[in-house]
A and B are shown apart, each in its own frame.
Chain A
Amino acid sequence: MKNRYLTLLLLVLLFTLPSLFPDNESRYEQWSKSLLCPVCQGETIYDSPSEYADDMGAILLEQINKGLTDDQIYTFWVSRYGERIITNPINRNLEILFIPLTLVFGFVLLFVRKLYVKK
């Protein structure tokens, strides 16, 4: 039985780690990871080594240092390049999460129903 308490203790310890040592991503990092570099075939400006991405990054950094809100930054980039510049459209268009989740859920339901025996 002692072992069980130890397991429990370890689990509690483990799950307090995220609040003790949190992962802080800077706003610049978050945004640069979600902005597409329009000339680089599907890379974000965070990943791309091109000069174009560099220039975009400089503008982005300036915006963040000025303290622009997420909405303002979003509007700025979308008005210039269209929606496809945002690689992380999940906060805006919920159907992007909703459609695959529904399909997966439907699939699981159907799959399990076919295999389940009523007792």
Chain B
Amino acid sequence: MIYNTGIIFSWISFVLLVILFFNKKEIYTEILVRLNLFVQVFLFCLLEIGLFLNDFSISYIANYSAESTPPLYKFASLWGSLDGSILLWNLCLSFFMYLYLKSYKDLSSDIDIKIFSLIMIFFVGYTVFSSSPFAGCIELAAVGCNNASLLPFQELVTSNIGRGPNPLLQNHPLMAIHPPMLYIGYVGMTMPFVAATSRLYSKKQNANDWIEVAEKTTYIPWLFLTIGITLGAAWSYEVLGWGGYWAWDPVENVSFIPWLLATAFLHSAKIQKSQNTLLNWNYILVGLMFLSTIFGTFVTRSGVLISVHAFSNGNIGTYLLFGMILFGIIFIVIGSKNVEYFSNSKKIDNWFGKAGFFVYNNIFLFSSALVIFIGTIFPLIYETLYDRQITIGRSYYDILVGPLLVILLGLMIFSNKLTIKNLNINKWFKENMILINSSLAISILTLLTFDNSYILVVTVAASFMLILITVDNLFKNFRKSKINKTYWTGQIAHLGIAIFAFGIILNVSQSYSTEKEINSFEEFTFNNQTYFVYDSIEESFPEKNVIKLPISNQNTTKFTSLNIFNNSSQQAISSPAVFRTFKNDVYITVKFIDENSYKLIVRNNYGIFIMWIGLFVSSISFVPRLSKNEK
């Protein structure tokens, strides 16, 4: 039932989009967009119903859900693997198409909806022709389904139990939030792409309107991407017990690349609006933002790279590659039609004025994205060229990206009071002398207790300077209504990044770990604190067995646990016990349990709480924007 309806409605959505693409009458546009949104919402609900009814005649449900899966993770299983996540992708895309139509549509032409529908045809096409989450199971595997059919009205076979989701994905409620946030961020990048290409395609006198729309439509996905990446980092650190929040893993990298590009664009768009410069560059950025999200999906889903996030492949790799080429060509053709318009782009007069600083910002943000991109694909290239496999690890990014980000931090110090004319550095010094001196003094005092290196010293001094100058500015000027609200969005985001930078540099430079072998009811000392280990407790759930180990330190007891999942051949997942203070976390995970003796990994992680505060501050930077309309 669900299988037939799902397949048929996928087709309906596809046909609606094709009609939308060829439609010439304006009155039908809105109806078609609404209908498409309705169908996508329906498909989403339908698959959820299938998941909750344990309809194992559907291959996707048999393979990625199980009867014993708890409700929340059943719900989240919809995006637990490739086919379902494309369904969520399509839902987001049709929602954004509706939003675009309502708020950002170019009223003089309908080329934007055509480009939008073309992009959507591409993604819906995948579920119709290649691999659908509604495909019915026609051949059983030992557990789950082995072979599925995309055609409706087939004779189906039903497996008795489902295989269940990947254990990593049913360990914490964040699974229900982190991926959709990232998806909204990724998919939303379609809006600026459509805005830019369509408005430049139908080139009018007032051709600069594309930048306004592109900027507005970038902010929403940028915000979601920020939150999505933050939640991912928090999840991996607080729950999965990997000990880290960021591993420069290929999949993390490809979510960071669009973020860096979008951040660059949000800055350079401002300069184009006020000084009519960087026209061509902004167009390139918008294109790269969109293409990098498809590239990101390609990397995650094609299985070309090894990663903790990558899930099974299929033929989507080639399909997405084809899409990248197709949209790349559209982008280049429309760009080359506008060479004349782009040549109006003004050059920069004041290299130490606002435009100059924004150019440096773009240079360093784009360079970071470039370096990360190369680092991500380097192993592939190297293997092709030399037939040797190499691994690009943390040190590559530490050496190449680290300094770029520190320079960006330094640049932000000047961001509170940029004028079009060149910055008078003497005057700037005089005005901020007290703040500069006090931040240097605070840095020295703070650093006295740590092991130092030059990068640490520079980063800490820069972040303190940025924090003091921004906070001072906020206190003095926030109430002034003359100042544009988006200015405060920027300042708050910078403040958050400064706090974050301080936290992360402490974490990277100061943290250390050790292993302890210990029995029940014994204690160990770490970092001048005593920790007492109790006896382990076993708990059974339908989907997993959990071994919990209580550990106490000064009247607080926390649990570190090993989760062993049924229906899974993967290794057990350990969750950490985290004893948190403002400065550092003592982070304990179980490595090994044997009767009542345990092997524990004990880490002293500095700066984590400070990092979370910073990221939180950056995430709420949108608040001043909300009040913008009231003025």
Residues on A lying within 8 angstroms of B by beta carbon are: 3-4, 6-7, 10-11, 13-15, 17-18, 20-24, 29, 33-34, 36, 41-44, 46-47, 49-51, 54, 82-90, 93, 96-97, 99-101, 103-104, 107-108, 111-112, 115-117
Given contacts A22-B453, A24-B451, A84-B379, 4 further A-B contacts (CB under 8 A): A44-B393, A83-B388, A90-B399, A96-B378
Q: Which residues does chain A contribute within 8 Å of B347, judged by CB atoms? A: 115-117
The answer to whether B247 and A43 touch across the interface, beta carbons within 8 angstroms, is yes
The answer to whether A111 and B393 touch across the interface, beta carbons within 8 angstroms, is no
Give the Cβ gap from B524 to chain A, nearest Cβ, in Å: 18
Give the Cβ gap from B573 to chain A, nearest Cβ, in Å: 10
Complex Cα spacing A103 to B362, Å: 15
A-contact bits for B436-454, CB 8 A (1 contact / 0 none): 1100110110011011111
Complex Cα spacing A116 to B306, Å: 43
Which of B391, B513, B591 lies at the interface centre, i.e. has the most chain A CB atoms within 10 A of its CB?
B391
Q: Which residues does chain B contribute within 8 Å of A116, judged by CB atoms? A: 347-348
The residue of chain A having its C-beta at the shortest distance from the C-beta of B454 within the complex is A18
8 Å CB contacts to A: which residues of B113-152? none
The answer to whether B389 and A82 touch across the interface, beta carbons within 8 angstroms, is yes
The residue of chain B having its C-beta at the shortest distance from the C-beta of A24 within the complex is B451
Give the Cβ gap from B565 to chain A, nearest Cβ, in Å: 16
> Interface size (B, Cβ < 8 Å)?
66
The 7 residue pairs across chains A and B that have the minimum distance between CB atoms = A87-B393, A23-B451, A10-B440, A84-B389, A18-B452, A88-B395, A117-B347
Complex Cα spacing A97 to B394, Å: 13
The answer to whether A115 and B400 touch across the interface, beta carbons within 8 angstroms, is no
The answer to whether B452 and A107 touch across the interface, beta carbons within 8 angstroms, is no
The answer to whether B437 and A36 touch across the interface, beta carbons within 8 angstroms, is no
Q: Which residues does chain B contribute within 8 Å of A14, judged by CB atoms? A: 440, 443-444, 447, 457, 461
Q: A20-B452, A21-B450, A87-B393 are in contact. Are A42 and B591 (CB under 8 A)?
A: no
Complex Cα spacing A99 to B396, Å: 12
A-contact bits for B213-250, CB 8 A (1 contact / 0 none): 00000000000000000000000000001111001011
The residue of chain B having its C-beta at the shortest distance from the C-beta of A95 within the complex is B382
A sample of 15 cross-chain residue pairs with beta-carbon separation below 8 angstroms, ordered by A number, consists of A3-B433, A6-B437, A15-B454, A17-B444, A17-B457, A24-B451, A33-B394, A47-B244, A47-B247, A49-B241, A88-B396, A100-B371, A111-B362, A115-B278, A115-B348
The answer to whether B399 and A87 touch across the interface, beta carbons within 8 angstroms, is no
Partner of B452, one of A21, A50, A51, A84: A21
Give the Cβ gap from B379 to chain A, nearest Cβ, in Å: 8
Complex Cα spacing A108 to B407, Å: 15
Q: A3-B437, A117-B347 are in contact. Are A17 and B400 (CB under 8 A)?
A: no
Give the Cβ gap from A104 to chain B, nearest Cβ, in Å: 5
A-contact bits for B336-379, CB 8 A (1 contact / 0 none): 00000000000111000000000100110011001100110011
The answer to whether A41 and B437 touch across the interface, beta carbons within 8 angstroms, is no
The residue of chain A having its C-beta at the shortest distance from the C-beta of B359 within the complex is A115
The answer to whether B440 and A89 touch across the interface, beta carbons within 8 angstroms, is no
8 Å CB contacts to A: which residues of B447-467? 447-448, 450-454, 456-457, 461
The answer to whether A104 and B391 touch across the interface, beta carbons within 8 angstroms, is no
Q: Which residues does chain B contribute within 8 Å of A50, judged by CB atoms? A: 571
Is B390 close to A, CB under 8 A? yes
Is B574 close to A, CB under 8 A? yes
The residue of chain B having its C-beta at the shortest distance from the C-beta of A115 within the complex is B348
The residue of chain B having its C-beta at the shortest distance from the C-beta of A11 within the complex is B440
8 Å CB contacts to A: which residues of B304-318? 306-308
Q: A41-B307, A103-B374, A115-B359 are in contact. Are A10 and B394 (CB under 8 A)?
A: no
Q: Which residues does chain A contribute within 8 Å of B249, judged by CB atoms? A: 42
A-B pair number, CB within 8 angstroms = 158
Complex Cα spacing A20 to B448, Å: 9
Partner of B242, one of A47, A83, A90: A47
Q: Provide the main secondary structure of the chain A interface.
A: helix
Complex Cα spacing A119 to B140, Å: 75
Q: Which residues does chain A contribute within 8 Å of B399, judged by CB atoms? A: 90, 97
Residues on B lying within 8 angstroms of A by beta carbon are: 241-244, 247, 249-250, 277-278, 281, 306-308, 347-349, 359, 362-363, 366-367, 370-371, 374-375, 378-379, 388-396, 399-400, 429, 433-434, 436-437, 440-441, 443-444, 447-448, 450-454, 456-457, 461, 509, 512-513, 571, 574, 589, 591-592, 601
Complex Cα spacing A17 to B391, Å: 34
Complex Cα spacing A83 to B383, Å: 11
Give the Cβ gap from A36 to chain B, nearest Cβ, in Å: 5
Give the Cβ gap from A45 to chain B, nearest Cβ, in Å: 12
Partner of A87, one of B243, B250, B394: B394
The residue of chain B having its C-beta at the shortest distance from the C-beta of A43 within the complex is B247
The residue of chain B having its C-beta at the shortest distance from the C-beta of A36 within the complex is B391
Give the Cβ gap from B597 to chain A, nearest Cβ, in Å: 15
Which of B348, B363, B393, B591 lies at the interface centre, i.e. has the most chain A CB atoms within 10 A of its CB?
B393
Partner of B433, one of A7, A42, A97, A101: A7
Complex Cα spacing A90 to B398, Å: 11
Q: Which residues does chain B contribute within 8 Å of A18, judged by CB atoms? A: 452-454, 456-457
Q: Which residues does chain B contribute within 8 Å of A23, judged by CB atoms? A: 451-453, 456, 509
Partner of B374, one of A47, A51, A100: A100
The residue of chain A having its C-beta at the shortest distance from the C-beta of B451 within the complex is A23
Complex Cα spacing A11 to B278, Å: 37
The answer to whether B400 and A101 touch across the interface, beta carbons within 8 angstroms, is yes
Q: A7-B436, A21-B451, A21-B452 are in contact. Are A36 and B393 (CB under 8 A)?
A: yes
The answer to whether A96 and B396 touch across the interface, beta carbons within 8 angstroms, is yes
The residue of chain B having its C-beta at the shortest distance from the C-beta of A10 within the complex is B440
Complex Cα spacing A22 to B362, Å: 34
Partner of B589, one of A11, A15, A49, A82: A49
